[in-house]
Chain A
Amino acid sequence: MTSSQTAFLQARGLTREFRGFYAVKDLDLDIRAGQVHALIGPNGAGKTTVFNLLTRVLDCTEGQIRFDGEDITRMATHRVARLGLVRSFQISSVFPALSVLENIRVALQRPNGLGMTWWRSRSALDRLDERAHALLLDVQLGDFAHSRAGDLPYGRKRALEIATTLALEPRMLLLDEPMAGMGTEDVVHVTELVRRVARSRTVLMVEHNLKAVAELSDRITVLARGEKLAEGTYDEIRADAEVRRAYLGGTAHA
């Protein structure tokens, strides 16, 4: 069991080298259960690489990753997802030619044992609809169930992606820039959505929108050139001189 003292997701000495260039170097990360943890830093700081390492999209050159006590350092990507560590993508990632409802159904199929079912018609999936509609209502996509996912405007695609992710009932969510490319109104929406989602889950997010980070995060890690620059609450980070120089100084609007 995880207590609030031990880390839910833990990385030790996480390193990723691309032909002599260290995208991430000797990073220790502890994300506690139930918290919203934000990862910030200037462009090229290695935030997305950290994400890809933690979700096993990339292999780390060195280091160790443990999720809920289990060593996942060399685990296959899809297995990590099955453990309940589920990510969203920086560029909204939906199945564009499928309908909004079908997008959610696809996420629900595997946990309901309907992934490999080739001998039944698709009406076997109708029993997933109740849950799927509930998820869509949750992200205010109820009226769009039969639209083609690829035709949705950007903010709604984002909402669909989050609903799809939630369909897996993940124990921990990794959100890669959930507010990227959104208008102010959408940011408010998604902030509210993440807040609701985070009530019962652990969340790690990369985000540039510092207002959203300030509102949502319990703890923040600042990355610069692949290394940890600082860690703490928003106020602690704001007060840190080194962080101001490296990051907040130029772009702070909070």
Chain B
Amino acid sequence: MLRSHVLPVLALLVLLCIAPLVFYPIFLIKLLCFALFAAAFHLLLGYVGLLSFGHAAFFGTGAYMCAQALARWNLAPELALLFAVAVSAALGAVIGFLAVRRQGIYFAMITLALGQMVYFIYLQAPFTGGEDGIRGITPGHFLGVVDLSNPLALYFTVLAVTTLAFALVWRIVQSPFGMILEAIRENEPRAISLGYNPTLYKLAAFTFSAALAGLAGGLKAMSFQIATLVDVTWQMSGEVVLMTLVGGIGTFLGPVVGAFIIGGLEQYLAQSALPAPVILGAAFILCVMLFRKGVAGTAKSLLQNRAPKRSTPDNPETQATNRIVK
């Protein structure tokens, strides 16, 4: 399991280290933030089987809290990020508590409704600056040494934090706790009959997911030196669903691939005269119809088909996709 991921992960890290030679660091930072956001979302969808439609609430909360801490309290960037994570996790625990007892479409609807509630709170709350957002952020020095006003230093800081966060996701998924999450997703009544309380496990996963989404939002606010309502909208919640589905459910790197594809397309389309939403929508439909396992999932099974075949028609990835598409 681990070995099959080492090569792609190393290759990706090397690529990301030399990427600033070709692309603007700030563009790459945006991709990294989205990739982390998608990974946080995928922790819930891919490993627990819960489709949240309100994850922007945590992304946006992370962004606002980090911006608040940096712009108004002049906290060090690492403390501002920690604060953003803590508040997002707390909000995740509350929203998760209300949502995880439900499943499927009901879970999606409750998270959407609560996400919208969070949006309206931020729209009205004085500290967010309403439509203007929180501006005037000076990111300062990370850990007291790295000057974040230098775009390259900022990029490698974000890359390091993101990599650590991904390592944490990997640890959670591959831990004994992750094993129980898998068991609950496979057969919840049986897990209950073995004495597990699924609500507790789902709530823990939801809180982890919210905390990581908050970290992604915090990194974005720190890097772009602004936090606005855009990060809390339902469109942002939709975008992360899109990224994860395009990338592929059930594969560790799927959300990264999806975030890079969607983020890259958006950037490219923003500079052209083409109607971005139409093209993104078409790309999404193509992905769902042609690669039901997503881009990463399809690539993975192509590679596996060349190697001795191990996967069966009802492998977990297809099952996960089928469950969502149904």
Chain A residues near B (Cβ < 8 Å): 55, 57, 76-79, 81-82, 86-87, 89, 93-98, 102, 105-107, 109-111, 114-122, 124-125, 148, 150-151, 164, 168
Contacts and interface: CB of A to CB of B under 8 A. Distances in A.
Contacts of A82: 195
Given A89-B190, A93-B187, A106-B183, A81 B177 contact: no
Contacts of A97: 182, 186, 315-316, 319
A116 B204 contact: yes
Nearest to A81: B195
B192 A118 contact: no
Contacts of B191: 106
A154 to B, nearest CB: 16
Contact of B193 (A87, A111, A114, A150): A87
Given A77-B193, A78-B197, A118-B178, 12 more contacts: A86-B195, A97-B186, A109-B179, A110-B180, A115-B180, A115-B201, A117-B177, A118-B172, A118-B177, A122-B176, A150-B314, A151-B312
| Top 8 A-B pairs, shortest CB-CB distance | A118-B177, A81-B195, A95-B186, A117-B176, A93-B190, A82-B195, A114-B176, A118-B175
A93 B189 contact: yes
A106 B179 contact: yes
B179 A125 contact: yes
Contacts of B204: 116, 118
14 contacts: A77-B192, A77-B193, A81-B195, A86-B193, A86-B195, A95-B183, A98-B183, A106-B183, A118-B176, A118-B177, A119-B171, A121-B174, A124-B176, A150-B314
B14 interface: no
B176 A120 contact: yes
A82 B172 CA distance: 25
Which of B177, B182, B312 counts the most chain A CB atoms within 10 A? B177
Contact of B186 (A76, A96, A114): A96
Interface in B186-231: 186-187, 189-198, 201, 204, 208
Contacts of B193: 55, 77, 81, 86-87, 89, 93
B314 to A, nearest CB: 8
Interface of B: 171-172, 174-180, 182-183, 186-187, 189-198, 201, 204, 208, 312, 314-316, 319
B182 to A, nearest CB: 7
Which of B178, B180, B204, B316 counts the most chain A CB atoms within 10 A? B180
A32 B175 CA distance: 41
B251 to A, nearest CB: 15
A117 B175 contact: yes
Contacts of A119: 171, 175
Given A81-B195, A168-B195, A94 B190 contact: yes
A79 to B, nearest CB: 8
B174 A122 contact: yes
Contacts of B179: 102, 105-106, 109, 122, 125
Contact of B177 (A57, A87, A107, A116): A116
Contacts of A122: 174-176, 178-179
B292 to A, nearest CB: 18
Which of B179, B187, B194 counts the most chain A CB atoms within 10 A? B194
A110 B196 contact: yes
Nearest to A120: B175
Contact of B194 (A96, A125, A150, A168): A168
Contacts of A111: 195
Which of B178, B190, B315 counts the most chain A CB atoms within 10 A? B190
Nearest to A167: B194
B175 A107 contact: no
Nearest to B205: A118
Given A93-B190, A116-B204, A118-B171, A78 B195 contact: yes
